């Protein structure tokens, strides 16, 4: 399971996640499908909302 899916699992719906992050439900769907990646700013917001480290959400940017 990818980390964005773990973030998604913290919410009841994709729509609820989208509202919490200030994005569209379509954006959440694209992240979950792997079509697009969440921006660094969104990864930080996800970390704040869920406690899942940004390094795990976007290791290509925040990883070591």
Q: Is the pLDDT of residue 37 over 80?
A: yes
Q: Is the pLDDT of residue 63 over 90?
A: no
Give all domains of the chain, ordered by start, each with its CATH number.
3-62 (1.10.260.40)
**What's the mean per-residue pLDDT of the chain?**
94
Question: With bands split at pLDDT 50, 70 and 90, how would you rate the model's confidence at 14?
Answer: very high
Residue 2 confidence (pLDDT):
81
pTM: 0.90
Residue 1 confidence (pLDDT):
59
DSSP string, 23-57: S-HHHHHHHHHTSS---HHHHHHHHHHH---HHHH
Region 12-22: mean pLDDT is 96
Please state, in angstroms and as integers, the Cα–Cα distance from residue 33 to each residue in 27, 48, 64, following that order.
10, 22, 25
């Amino acid at each position: 399971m990818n980390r964005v899916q773990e973030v998604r699992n913290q919410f009841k719906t994709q729509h609820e996640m989208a509202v919490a992050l200030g994005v569209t439900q379509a954006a959440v769907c694209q992240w979950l499908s792997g079509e697009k990646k969440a921006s660094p700013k969104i990864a930080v917001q996800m970390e704040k909302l869920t406690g899942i480290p940004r390094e795990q959400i976007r290791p290509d940017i925040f990883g070591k």
